[in-house]
Structures are given as structure tokens and as C-alpha cells.
Amino acid sequence: MRPIRFFFLFILVALIAGCRSAEVEGVYGGIVTNAGMLSGTHGGREMVLFLRSDGTFTDNMRERDWKSNVKGKYVVTGSTLKLVYHEQKKVDEFRINSKGHLLRTGTVLLKMDKSDSVPAGIYSFKDAQPTGGPATGQPYLGGNRRSTYYFDGSGQFRDSGTDSRNAAGTYQLQNGELTLHFTSGGSEKHSFFARREAGTNKLAAVINGRFYFTGDLPGNGQRDSSSTDEETKGTPSRDGENFPVPADESSNSQRILPLIQDVVDSLRARHGGSAIDNIKTIYTKASSEGFEILSYIDFGRSRVRFELYQDDNMVAVEQLEGNKGWRWMQGKITSLEPVRIDEIIFSQHMGITGFRKDLSPDLLDGILEQATHGFNLSFQVDGRQFIYVLDSNLNLLGDAYRIGDIEQASQYSNFKLVDGVFVPFTIEIFRDGQKSTLKVDKYVVNQPLKTKWLKPPVEKADDKKQ
């Protein structure tokens, strides 16, 4: 039995996705394209959703009763959202991406910010009447159909889209309700939700149940084009995937490749050498997306336990002993899938533990390639594929692996020395089109593990009725 890798990144996305249902409530807006739109002809419609915390939703926010109007219920399973309509007896399905937006073929519904302030700056909202399309080569922009709203970010507004008057005045936003106080007298109320793309002047908004946006509408195809360059920095994409990091095939650089033996020796020396080989147990405390993750690793007994908490409440547990394991979630215990067990066992070859002396032969049988960022060291173990990503000075930038149908890439930063081992305290994880940032608070090496390795209580049928 192979020892277990202590970098527990492979479970983070899956466990958090299983507990994500409480995070989807809010207002979404975007464009639903049709076959004509994808072929370059005009067509499509705007779509707005209001998901409530009680599991109900409405897709009509133009009515005054939008806060209470119920069109159906929604269900979240992992990163999948299903809308179950009452009257139409239909089901819509979306994927939830790392930014919280809803995606499906031809559609991106942007999640509006929960805020009582209109984003600072002066913005022109263009109504979402489609023009152009992917096949036309033209940007997919809104037209100037009817209304244009301007806000200065400090409580002043101007509406130049009204034919009867050039209105101006002050505004207030509270709980999604925007009140306009006109200098000429009187006031108006509008439902208002907005989202400003970080680092840009692009703004999307849902006003009175209509979707408005400035500039290009982010993402209107199958690929999640709402991702920014910053989001994928360090893991260049190929065909929309984060794995593997491509080699610099077009580079004219004449750098001489170092020997793989020298690369492996350098990595071991920089990250702890014999201290890595001497790791027996590890406890790790980390946080991500409002969750706290506790990891207990016992190399001598080949067992590992991961606990996920939200607001001090345990919400999920995974545990593996030898080649058997189980998962506890929502009061139920299920066996770990064979592919999950395979991933846990073989992912020991990534992260710092992949530099252990007993695993060096696998690295030495690998291939070192030049890349734009420095070098890629790729190798295989029993048919599983692994890559270490290094800069030109052989510093560790990250890694990636493909185990069965599972692909994951990780980017490391904020390294610190812990009991002689140089480990990252910030890890960005890319998996299934999603990105999670893990902040490690504590590593404890070779100390007694304070866990009883027990299964949490199972929820009984009688408990559900209460």
C-alpha cells in the first residue's frame, strides 16, 4: 500500500460543491441564445432569476410582487442547479462556476452582487436586445433600445433615456429597491441589482426585472468565458482545460536543459530533503470559501481523514484506511468510489511529498521540457500522468495530474518553513472548470493526531420527521 499524500487539495472542490446550496440565493441575469443566434442570425432573449433562501424562485421580476412570486423550486446537487417549474412542468439545468455564475450551452447568467450601494462611477446601461453573434465576428452587444441610466456613485443620478424630460436627482438603494428622488419633485421605486467586473468598468444590472450591461456581455457560448486572465494565471489553457500546462513550443530560446537528476536534487534540498522523508503524521487546518478544512494524515497506518466545517458545524467527512474508505455528508454515510480511492492513493506523487526519496525513481524516469514559465517535469506512475511546474530557477510553481477521468491543477505561493519542510500556505486549485483558493492556517508535523477516526452519527428517518 502506497503512503498517502498529505496535500489534501483533491477533496476540497468536491466537498465544498456538495455543501454549496446555501450560497446560490440571489439575483441572476443574462442572455439565452437560440440556434439562430449561434448560426450568426439575430435571436435570443434575456433571462432573470431570483433564487430565495427557502428554495423557491421566480423568473419574472417585472411584476410588483417579485419578492413573493413563486414560479417553482430549485435544487442544488454539487455544482449543478436544477429549476423545477410548477406550471410548465419543465426542468432547467445549469452549472455553477467558480464565480457563482450559472452556465449552460449558449447561456451565462451573471450573479449580481448583494450590496446596498450602486457601483461607483458613471455607467451607461444598454438594454439586452441582441445584435451580432459568434458567427458574425461582431461583438455580442446590447442595443440602444430604450433606457440609459447614469449613476455617479455618490448618490446623484441622471436618466437620459426618458423622452418626456431630462430627469436628475438623488438615489438610495436598500434590499434591492432603488428609490429615485427627482429634483423636479416626486420619486420612483425600482428593483435594482448590479455587478461590476473586478478591475474593469464593465457593469451588468437587473433593473425592474430587465437585464442591462455595458460593453461585451461576458460569455455567451459553451466555454466559461467569464474567467479572467488573472483567474487562470499560472495554468495556461489548452482547449479550455487547465491540464496540462503547455510547453513553450514556439520559443526560440536556446537555454540548455538541466539534468533531471539535478532538478530532483534541487527540489528535495529546497523543500526539506530528509525532513520530508521523516514525516510520519501531519495535521493541517485551512479555510476556503467560508469553509474550514481539517486534515489528519497518519502515514504509518496508511489512513487519512478530512473534516469540513461551516459556521463551526461539521458538514462533511471523508476517511480512507488502506484501500477502503467512506464519506459522511448530510447525515448519510456512503462508500468512497473506486476512482476517489485511486485518486487519494496516487496523488501522493504531487505536492511536497512527491519529493520523498523513495519516490525519486518515478521523477527520474520523467521528461523535462522547456516552457514559457521555465520548465515542466512530466512523468507517469502505473499509467497515471503527473506534471511539476517550475520556473527558470527551478522553484516550484505548481503541479497537475490526470488520474482516470479526473484532472486537477494547483498553483502554490506563500511558502514558509515548518519543522524543516518548506510548504505553501496559499494554494489555488483548478478542477472541473472551477477555481478554489485555499488558505492554510496551520501545519503540525509528527505530533499525535487529535481525532478518534470515528464515523459521525447517521440521520434516522424519525429524525427527519421532527
Domains of the chain and CATH, by start: 18-213 (no CATH), 257-459 (2.50.20.10)
CB 145 within 8 A of CB 151: no
Query: Percent of the chain, pLDDT > 70?
Result: 72
- pLDDT, residue 122, reads 54
Q: Which residue has the cell 520530508?
A: 276
pLDDT of residue 200: 65
Asked if residue 319 lies in contact with residue 302, where contact means CB atoms within 8 angstroms, the answer is: no
The secondary structure of residue 3, as a DSSP letter, is P
C-alpha cell at 214: 455595458
Model's pTM, two decimal places?
A: 0.49
Per the listing, cell 515542466 goes with: 376
Rg of the chain over all Cα atoms, to the nearest angstrom: 26
Q: What is the pLDDT of residue 338?
A: 87
Of 350, 322, 338, the C-alpha closest to 408 is 350
Neighbours of 243 (CB within 10 A): 18
Q: Which three cell numbers stand for residue 365?
A: 524516469
Contacts of 26 (CB under 8 A, 6+ apart): 50, 51, 100, 111, 112, 114, 193
Low-confidence ranges of the chain (pLDDT < 50): 1-14, 17-18, 20-22, 34-43, 123-147, 162-165, 215-254, 461-466
- The candidate with the shortest Cα–Cα distance to 206, out of 189, 196, 193, is 193
Category of 191 on φ-ψ map: left (φ > 0), alpha (ψ -120 to 50) or beta: beta
How far, in Å, CA of 234 to CA of 147, rounded? 41
Q: How many CB atoms lie within 10 A of CB 130?
A: 23
Using CA atoms, how far apart are residues 84 and 61, in angstroms rounded to an integer? 17
Hey, which bits of 23-112 come out as E strands? 26-32, 45-51, 56-58, 72-77, 80-85, 91-96, 102-104, 107-111
Q: What is the pLDDT of residue 282?
A: 92
- pLDDT score recorded for residue 459: 66
pLDDT in the model for residue 3: 34
Each residue's pLDDT tens digit, 155-200: 888 765 544 445 688 888 988 888 888 888 888 888 889 887 766 6
- 130 cis-preceded (ω within 30 degrees of 0): no
Identify the pLDDT of residue 256: 67
The pLDDT value given to residue 149: 62
Give me the torsion for CA of 209, 212, 218, 222, rounded to 10°.
40
